[in-house]
Structure 1
Amino acid sequence: MTIRTLAWGILLAATTSVWSPPAHADAVEPKVAATSIKVEHVRIESAKPYAEVRAALEKLVPRFDDRIRVLLQYGEIGRVKVELEKVQGSAGLVIFSVAPHGDWVQILGQKQNAAQFVTGNVLIATQMTSRNAAAGLYAPLRIMLYETAAGTAVLKYDRPSDLFGQYGNREVTEIAGSLDRKIFDVLVTAAH
């Protein structure tokens, strides 16, 4: 049994634990910790077809403009903030990428409409990560959209304030609360 396999087994067996492999004279071993958190998982079922809900979501939440990164590289911070506000529009969110999970089931000889949207708000994310860098694990957020057997759409996501609340930082959790509202509102609107 390898140390990695042993470590994984110990992590799975404990709700909250810290494990350090045996020390070697020539190396400092990493400490591994695992903590369970409670997360509210939100499911929004639409009576509308998948394609219609996807089109509505993509209309409500624009794509991120990578040219904004060039402004950042040149230190044009004022312009970066203006462009971020502009691109996020009224939803206050952008789509950074779309992972077409449904396309991949073709490997199994199947077809499915399903996509994961990596979505967020750069200005909100930086407020959280500046207070706790680990918050970057959940910024940006994931939204899953898929088609049911009946041909309707389902949207799923994990509530941001629960994901970010695990860090025990009141400011980070409050900031994430604004994402709770933004994500919920835009998804219900797309599903309606």
Structure 2
Amino acid sequence: MDGQRIAAVSRPVTRYEIEIEEAFDDFRDRFEQAVPPYPEERFAALVRRGAGWDEVLALAREAAPHDFMIYWRYDAGSMMGLAGDYFRCTEYLMGNHTIAERMFRHNPGILLYAPLRMAITEGADGVTRFCFDRPADGFGSFGDDAITAVGADLDHKVASLLRHLSVPVPAALEDGAY
């Protein structure tokens, strides 16, 4: 056991909670139209036949019109309602494995932060919010310029998605500063 190394990396994280001037259900529906489900069977078929990466890239472009797909969706409000909590929350794992691959080739540990975790919430005040951590914060913690650059690119892609959804865009997502 001697010689084993444990790395501990502390980092600041910027969490955004963007107020949405729209009903929870309406915004959630628009978000899910802009970010469609990951077509698992279609990608699995590419894996089964050993397709080339160009085919994977083409399918990802087709499946993710705004650069992202939903890999997982959970309506936490239903479960929490059993405890008497009547807030609403749908959480997502949203990403694009062809973007993640650009970082994975440098360090597979980036999958701690890819896909991105997003949540649409409605609290006691009745306000719908779109919540997420800034992508560059997690990916920048690896100390690798190539990974950090993709994290900044993800910031820009999230900003583009927010603009498409007519949601206020935090300035840091657009300025590229990490």
2:99 to 117, 121, 124: 124
* 1:191 Cα offset (Å): 5.5
* 1:55 Cα offset (Å): 0.8
Secondary structure, counterpart of 2:21 in structure 1: strand
Whether 1:58 and 2:37 are equivalent positions in the alignment is no
Which residue in the other structure is 2:118 paired with?
143
CA distance in 1, matches of 2:164, 2:51: 35
Which residue in the other structure is 1:11 paired with?
none
More displaced, 154-163 or 101-110?
101-110
Q: Is the 8 A contact 1:103 1:112 kept in 2?
A: no
CA distance in 2, matches of 1:31, 1:170: 23
Q: Is the 8 A contact 1:97 1:118 kept in 2?
A: yes
* 1:109 Cα offset (Å): 2.7
* TM-score, length of structure 2 as denominator length: 0.84
Whether 1:82 and 2:42 are equivalent positions in the alignment is no
Q: Is the 8 A contact 1:144 1:156 kept in 2?
A: yes
Structure 1 residue ranges without an equivalent (≥5)? 1-27
Deviations 1:158-179 (A, max 9, x none): 1111110001111111111111
Secondary structure, counterpart of 1:108 in structure 2: coil
Misfit runs of 4+, over 6 Å: none
* CA pair 191-105 structure 1, distance change in 2 beyond 3 A: farther
Which residue in the other structure is 2:8 paired with?
34
Q: In the alignment, residue 52 of structure 1 is paired with which amino acid?
A: D
RMSD: 1.7
Match runs of 1:76-115 below 5 Å: 76-77=51-52, 78-89=54-65, 91-115=66-90
Structure 2 residue ranges without an equivalent (≥5)? 168-178
Q: Is the 8 A contact 2:88 2:121 kept in 1?
A: yes
CA distance in 2, matches of 1:147, 1:188: 21
CA distance in 1, matches of 2:83, 2:17: 26
CA distance in 2, matches of 1:103, 1:138: 26
Larger Rg: 1
CA distance in 1, matches of 2:51, 2:13: 38
CA distance in 1, matches of 2:166, 2:92: 15
Q: Is the 8 A contact 2:9 2:141 kept in 1?
A: no
Whether 1:169 and 2:162 are equivalent positions in the alignment is no
Whether 1:44 and 2:14 are equivalent positions in the alignment is no
Which residue in the other structure is 2:46 paired with?
71
* 1:34 Cα offset (Å): 2.4
* TM-score, length of structure 1 as denominator length: 0.78
